[in-house]
A and B are shown apart, each in its own frame.
Chain A
Amino acid sequence: KNQVEQSPQSLIILEGKNCTLQCNYTVSPFSNLRWYKQDTGRGPVSLTIMTFSENTKSNGRYTATLDADTKQSSLHITASQLSDSASYICVVSLPNQAGTALIFGKGTTLSVSS
Chain B
Amino acid sequence: DGGITQSPKYLFRKEGQNVTLSCEQNLNHDAMYWYRQDPGQGLRLIYYSQIVNDFQKGDIAEGYSVSREKKESFPLTVTSAQKNPTAFYLCASSIDAGLDYNEQFFGPGTRLTVL
Contacts and interface: CB of A to CB of B under 8 A. Distances in A.
Name, among A43, A89, A95, A100, the residue most crowded by chain B CB atoms within 10 Å (CB to CB).
A43
Nearest to B9: A41
A41 B50 contact: no
A43 B90 contact: yes
B97 A98 contact: yes
Given A99-B33, A106-B42, A41 B111 contact: yes
Given A42-B108, A43-B90, A104 B100 contact: no
Contact of B101 (A4, A45, A51, A89): A51
Contacts, number: 66
Nearest to A101: B100
A49 B99 CA distance: 14
Contact of A98 (B50, B59, B104, B109): B50
B16 interface: no
Contact of A41 (B41, B43, B109): B109
B100 A43 contact: no
A63 B33 CA distance: 28
A42 B92 CA distance: 12
Nearest to A103: B42
Nearest to B3: A43
Given A43-B108, A100-B58, 18 more contacts: A4-B42, A32-B101, A42-B108, A44-B43, A46-B103, A46-B105, A93-B100, A96-B98, A98-B31, A98-B98, A99-B31, A99-B33, A99-B48, A102-B43, A102-B45, A106-B40, A106-B42, A107-B42
Interface in B19-58: 31, 33, 40-45, 48, 50, 56, 58
Nearest to B40: A106
A100 B45 contact: yes
Interface string B53-74: 0001011000000000000000
Contact of B42 (A51, A98, A105): A105
